[in-house]
Chain A
Amino acid sequence: MDELYNATAISGTMASGRGLWTFDRNVVDGAVNGTSFLTVFSAWLSGLADRVIVDGAVNLVGWSAQESSFWFRRFQTGLVQNYALLMLFGIFAFVTVYLFVR
């Protein structure tokens, strides 16, 4: 009789205990750890977006400032004659615009 009990009820209960323990560790806890993995992953994605997109935009501003400066630097010749000529062109332009607008 004991062997019957052992083979059925006892083994059944112990086995279901072990089975549910595995379920608890892998499935239920798996869901908990899964959400933690998802959170860490989305944090990594946010970090990536921050470095590539946001910082990229910031660096783009700096880069375009640097590139465009090349062309504007060429105006600095150091010769006063060039500056005087430019001033003449400027006055001419202003007077023209003024006369037209009037």
Chain B
Amino acid sequence: MSYLSLILFTPLAGALLLLFVNKQNENAIRWIANVVAFVGFVISVPLWFWVNPQIAEYQLVERLPWIPSVGADYFLGVDGFSTLLILLTTMMGFIAVLSSWTAITERVKEYYIFLLILQTGMLGAFMSLDFLLFFLFWEVMLVPMYFLIGIWGSSNRLYSAIKFFLYTLVGSVVMLLGILAVYFQTPATATSPHTFDVTVMQQMSLPTDLQWWVFLAFFLGFAIKVPMFPFHTWLPDAHTDAPTAGSVILAAVLLKMGTYGFIRFSLPILPEATRTFVPFIALLSIIGIVYGALVALAQKDWKRLVAYSSVSHMAMVMLGMFALNPVGITGSIVQQLNHGISTGALFLLVGVVYERRHTREISEYGGLSKVMPVYAAVFLVMTMSSIGLPALNGFIGEFLILQGVFVTSKLWAVVAASGVVLGAAYMLYLYQRTMFGKIENPKNERLMDLSAREFATFAPLLVLAVWIGLYPKPILDRLNTSVQKVVARVSPQYGQGAAADASAPRPPVSAVAPQAVEPR
């Protein structure tokens, strides 16, 4: 069996295995799920080493005929960009499974089965190079998430679950129309008049007016997922009412599906339409940055605050992407990974206190750093990562994005930078209200600090936050060819040289800045 399929189906195999375990045997279920998730992560680690950053084509390709009469194949392949997202998925998947050990006490078997099926869905979406296969995995992700929110979520879970499901489904169905529109333009294969092969579609020149409509169709599907303003309102409800692991997976991975869709499909397949829509998307992104940050500032619910911060951060990611230059797109991808790490950690942090106090009201907390010092330290590091403090990962992403955006439009960069300030505002305000000050609430006086297992869920995230912040070169190198490929399609004026400079090993401040300002 080939490597990518092995990574893809390990979680599913684990889910099938769990089906045969007696549901009373909760300990066995937890152990099996955790082992499967851990193994799933470990077997994906070689991807980091085996995917050659120098090669532009998709690697580790597997291709088997699936539905020959319509030209759909079981076609998997990775490049630098999807490799990083796959690694993020397997890592966050394991962390999510590990974090649920004590949090989930009812219907434990179904819970872990759904988590593992969700994991397969996400991995499949990142690996697929066949549009029908991609769409299949895209839809597969929705059902387990719906159940995770609807069954194990908190007070408003039914409304949030249905809202999440139907909202994203509407986007997906419109996206399917777009897929079909492009499909009918593809050339014939040996077995069928058209093909769903994405690599073929990425090389095609489609008529501009068709591109316009297909871009809008794809836009709806991906923009709802990102989520972009004004399609974002499913996110605060879904994130707030989901169980901790559900929120972590939603924030860390599922949101990246939208941005992955833009970079993998919208930009290369529809380059003229992409250029046409830049002002539109930039406007929505800028609104999203500021709007998300301001609404986050007004929140009294801890989880909802982090959810709105996600809206703001992902809008920044979109702005960097639609600057359509190598620096911006690189920054966008790096920030996607960073957001997965920092916001995943923030939701885990909320989950820790929620398990202890069963409340998300910020006013219920205060002075926690006295009773939970380790927790406070982890929270501080992740707060700073989210804000974009230099030496942590957030800075690298934000800086590259702002640099890329500045080249395209100084005004946008100014507004986006104000979003960074607001980000610091709501995060520090949150930290102050929950961690500092006196312990007003007697219920907080005896809270236990992080257990070894809980700390283990944070450890990889802390390491990554610092590592990417201080030494992002390995990540940037792996993105180089992916970004180059996309830029060659949307912004051909940037030659081979500029993309390579975006990942220059020296401190990004001096080396990259002069190169990026002279587009050629």
A binds B: yes
Q: Quick check: which of B70-78, B258-266, B292-300, B366-374 contacts chain A, the rest being far away?
A: B292-300
Closest chain-A Cβ to B315's Cβ sits at a distance in Å of 14
Interface residue from A13, A16, A18, A32 paired with B233 (Cβ < 8 Å): A32
Interface residue from B163, B233, B236, B294 paired with A20 (Cβ < 8 Å): B294
Distance between Cα atoms of A17 and B234 in the complex (Å): 19
**A41 is an interface residue with CB less than 8 A from chain B:** no
Interface SS of B by simple majority:
helix
Residues of B within 8 A of A92 (CB): none
Query: Size range of the interface on A?
Result: 10 to 19
Is there an interface contact between B230 and A17, defined as CB atoms closer than 8 Å?
Answer: no
> How many cross-chain pairs have Cβ atoms below 8 Å apart between A and B?
36
Distance between Cα atoms of A17 and B299 in the complex (Å): 9
Is there an interface contact between B425 and A28, defined as CB atoms closer than 8 Å?
Answer: no
Find the B residue at minimum CB distance from A30.
Answer: B233
Distance between Cα atoms of A14 and B233 in the complex (Å): 20
**A50 is an interface residue with CB less than 8 A from chain B:** no
Is there an interface contact between B425 and A20, defined as CB atoms closer than 8 Å?
Answer: no
Find the B residue at minimum CB distance from A31.
Answer: B230
Query: How many residues on B have C-beta within 8 angstroms of the other chain's C-beta atoms?
Result: 17
Contact with A along B139-183 (1 / 0, CB 8 A): 000000000000000000000000100110000000000000000
> Known contacts A13-B425, A21-B299; is A28 also within 8 Å of B230 by CB?
yes
In A13-47, the 8 Å CB interface with B consists of: 13-14, 16-18, 20-21, 24, 28-29, 31-32, 36
Is there an interface contact between A24 and B167, defined as CB atoms closer than 8 Å?
Answer: no
Distance between Cα atoms of A36 and B163 in the complex (Å): 9
In B213-242, the 8 Å CB interface with A consists of: 230, 232-234, 236
> Known contacts A28-B233, A32-B233, A32-B234; is A17 also within 8 Å of B297 by CB?
yes
Is there an interface contact between B167 and A20, defined as CB atoms closer than 8 Å?
Answer: no
Find the A residue at minimum CB distance from B166.
Answer: A36
Closest chain-B Cβ to A34's Cβ sits at a distance in Å of 12
Distance between Cα atoms of A28 and B233 in the complex (Å): 7
Interface residue from A18, A28, A32, A36 paired with B298 (Cβ < 8 Å): A18
**B126 is an interface residue with CB less than 8 A from chain A:** no
Closest chain-A Cβ to B105's Cβ sits at a distance in Å of 32
Closest chain-A Cβ to B485's Cβ sits at a distance in Å of 36
Is there an interface contact between B291 and A20, defined as CB atoms closer than 8 Å?
Answer: yes
Is there an interface contact between A32 and B167, defined as CB atoms closer than 8 Å?
Answer: yes
Distance between Cα atoms of A32 and B163 in the complex (Å): 9
Is there an interface contact between B233 and A17, defined as CB atoms closer than 8 Å?
Answer: no
Is there an interface contact between B295 and A14, defined as CB atoms closer than 8 Å?
Answer: no
Interface residue from A13, A31, A36 paired with B294 (Cβ < 8 Å): A13
Distance between Cα atoms of A17 and B163 in the complex (Å): 24
Distance between Cα atoms of A35 and B422 in the complex (Å): 32
Distance between Cα atoms of A36 and B166 in the complex (Å): 10
Contact with A along B406-433 (1 / 0, CB 8 A): 0000000000000000100100000000
Find the A residue at minimum CB distance from B170.
Answer: A35
In A44-63, the 8 Å CB interface with B consists of: none
Distance between Cα atoms of A32 and B298 in the complex (Å): 21
Distance between Cα atoms of A33 and B360 in the complex (Å): 24
Residues of B within 8 A of A16 (CB): 294
Residues of A within 8 A of B299 (CB): 21
Closest chain-B Cβ to A55's Cβ sits at a distance in Å of 29
Closest chain-A Cβ to B166's Cβ sits at a distance in Å of 8
Interface residue from A13, A24, A36 paired with B297 (Cβ < 8 Å): A13
Residues of B within 8 A of A36 (CB): 163, 166
Closest chain-B Cβ to A70's Cβ sits at a distance in Å of 52
Distance between Cα atoms of A87 and B120 in the complex (Å): 79
Is there an interface contact between B425 and A21, defined as CB atoms closer than 8 Å?
Answer: no
Find the A residue at minimum CB distance from B422.
Answer: A13
Residues of A within 8 A of B294 (CB): 13, 16-17, 20-21
Distance between Cα atoms of A13 and B236 in the complex (Å): 21
Residues of A within 8 A of B166 (CB): 36
Distance between Cα atoms of A64 and B446 in the complex (Å): 79
Closest chain-A Cβ to B382's Cβ sits at a distance in Å of 22
Residues of B within 8 A of A17 (CB): 294-298
Residues of A within 8 A of B167 (CB): 32
Residues of A within 8 A of B230 (CB): 28, 31
Residues of B within 8 A of A14 (CB): 297-298
> Known contacts A13-B425, A32-B163, A32-B167; is A20 also within 8 Å of B295 by CB?
yes
Closest chain-A Cβ to B229's Cβ sits at a distance in Å of 8
Distance between Cα atoms of A13 and B163 in the complex (Å): 30
Closest chain-A Cβ to B83's Cβ sits at a distance in Å of 36
A: residues with CB less than 8 A from B are 13-14, 16-18, 20-21, 24, 28-29, 31-32, 36
Would you mind naming 18 contact pairs between A and B with Cβ atoms under 8 Å apart?
A: A13-B297, A13-B422, A13-B425, A16-B294, A17-B295, A17-B297, A18-B298, A20-B295, A20-B298, A21-B295, A21-B298, A24-B291, A28-B230, A28-B232, A29-B233, A32-B163, A32-B233, A36-B166
Q: A20-B298, A24-B291 are in contact. List 5 more A-B contacts (CB 8 A).
A: A13-B297, A17-B297, A20-B294, A28-B230, A28-B233
B: residues with CB less than 8 A from A are 163, 166-167, 230, 232-234, 236, 291, 294-299, 422, 425
The 3 A-B residue pairs whose C-beta atoms are closest, nearest first, are A17-B298, A17-B297, A21-B298
